[in-house]
Every structure is written in C-alpha cells, then in structure tokens.
Amino acid sequence: MNIFSDSPIDSVIDAVTIKAYLETEYRTYSATPCTLKVGIVCPVLAELHKTHAVTESAFITACNPFSTILHETDNVARHTKLEQLLTRRGFVFFEGIGKHPTGDWPGEPGFLVLGISLAAARVLARQLEQNAIIWNSIDAVPRLILLR
C-alpha cells in the first residue's frame, strides 16, 4: 500500500521533515477520540466516516507555515481563523493535534475535517502555507499528501 499520494522524490520538502510527518500521531478529539497514523487503518475513523455519511476526510493545521515555528499567539490566531473558515463552509470537523512521539517539535493543533474532497483539502492547506496534509479515504488508512 502506498502511504503517499504524491512521490516524495518530487518534493522540495527535505527527507527529515517527511520522516517526521510519517512518524507523527494525529490525535482527534471527537466523541470517540482516535489517533491517526500514516499507513495504519483506523477503525474509529472508519466509524466516524460512516456516522457522518462521508467517504473522505483530512487532518489540516494552520500552524507553523512551511515548517517555520511561529510564536504561540500567531499559531492560535491562525488556528482560530481556520476554525471560523471551516464553520462558514459548513464542514463537520473535530479538534485535534499532531504530535511527534519524541516531542522534539511542538504539537500543532489542527482539525479532522469530514467530507472535504482531496482537491479542496489541498487548496485550503496550500492557502495556509502548509507542506502537507493527512488524507483519509474510504479505507480509513491515513496517507501523507505532500503539497510542495
């Protein structure tokens, strides 16, 4: 199974950062919390998709654009704007956080957005100046989508 949508060879993102994305745990705080790990099926995610009658979702953050660590107040403002945008667009979404198991990088708040198409998730994340998103299709296996 391919855990990438796009080839990492064609990316401008360095291998260390890609490796970190692959190792990060993307925790969501829905009524039934779950942890998304790239390449590993998530039964709780499958159930969320079923409950909300969707076949796709994405974990998206607005924090630390292009992996440049911002001050916490800047990240909070970006996160709040993303929440407002998702609300205006009528998406069902759940708070979450992406955290690397080593804790070497600060956890990044984000959202698991249900029912967002891959194309729309890419556009949104690129507008937020993100390197990547976590994409989930009907099989509930999170995949790393590189955006640069």
Of 108, 101, 43, 44, the closest CA to residue 72 belongs to: 108
Euclidean distance between CA atoms 115 and 145, whole angstroms: 17
Structure tokens that stand for 43 in this block: 């039964």
C-alpha to C-alpha distance for 90 and 60, rounded to whole angstroms:
16
pLDDT 10s digits, 92-116: 999 999 999 997 878 999 999 999 9
pLDDT given for residue 1 in this prediction: 45
pLDDT digits (tens, 9 = 90+) for 65-83: 999 999 999 999 999 999 9
Strand partners of residue 104: none
As given in the structure block, the two tokens for residue 118 are 């891959």
Nearest Cα residue to 59 out of 27, 20, 107: 27
Q: Specify the pTM.
A: 0.92
Instruction: List, run by run, the mean pLDDT of 10-residue segments along the chain (148 residues).
Output: 55 89 95 94 97 98 95 97 98 97 88 98 97 97 95
Q: Where are the domains of the chain?
A: 8-146
